[in-house]
Amino acid sequence: MESTQLIRPHHGSRKSLWFGLLGAIVVIVGSILLAYAQGQKKEAEKMNPTKPMPADAELRNKLSKDQYHVTRECGTETPFHNAYWDNHKPGIYVDIITGEPLFSSLDKFDSGTGWPSFTKPISPDSVVEKRDTSHGMERTEVRGKTSDSHLGHVFDDGPAPTRERYCVNSAALRFIPVEKLKEEGYGQYLSLFQSPQGQQQQAQRD
């Protein structure tokens, strides 16, 4: 009867295996940390309030004719013929110039006016309100705090609980759908859409 001889793995082979596994783990963890750092950097760049405002000549080239007219010349776009008046997708609306978050779809409602309407800004600190007596009317103008862009006006005929209606020009905004928030550097706002209201809005979209 032939005897079977067991061949034990060499100690050096096992050591090499462990070093290989350790190296693979280091590479994977490093890749994850790098991706996270890049995402944080992108988000910081998007949200940097100290970033210098583009010169007027640059804005004329960057913005469309309607965007420039609304934001820099206090213009008003045509109701029912603009990008977001009938947009029901979940997401946030950011300043067309600075990218600063201004409004959320969770606060958007159909006012019947033909312009995007919101019950409140995404943060009180993102907008400023000024008295406006142009065109023989007494109104409250809403402007972007960082960009000083004309956004629209706020009225006191909105729904509960705020009773306010922020009537905003689509041309002053850029919409970012919820599925693009992280990619665009606005991942911190995903939590808004994990609330019962946010989940309901996404379910209605689907």
Give one DSSP letter per residue of 69-127, joined into a string: HHHHH---PPTTSSSSTT---SEEEEETTT--EEEEGGGEE--SSSS-EESS-S-GGGE
CATH, residue 86: 2.170.150.20
Q: Are 31 and 70 within one domain?
A: no
Asked about 167 being catalytic, the answer comes back as yes
Strands (E) in the chain, as ranges, are 91-95, 101-104, 108-109, 117-118, 127-132, 139-144, 150-155, 165-168, 173-177
Residue 174 has pLDDT above 80, yes or no: yes
Strand pairing category for 139-144 and 127-132? antiparallel
Domain assignment of residue 118, yes or no:
yes
- The one-letter amino acid code at 133 reads T
* Active-site choice (167, 173, 176, 181): 167
Of 80-84, 123-127, 142-146, 195-199, the poorest mean pLDDT is in 195-199
pTM of the full predicted structure?
Answer: 0.76
Whether residue 125 sits in one domain with residue 155: yes
Domain range spanning residue 112?
56-205
Q: Is 17 inside a domain boundary?
A: yes
Confidence class of residue 138 from pLDDT cuts 50, 70 and 90? very high
Give the pLDDT score at 20: 72
Residues 89 and 141 in one domain: yes
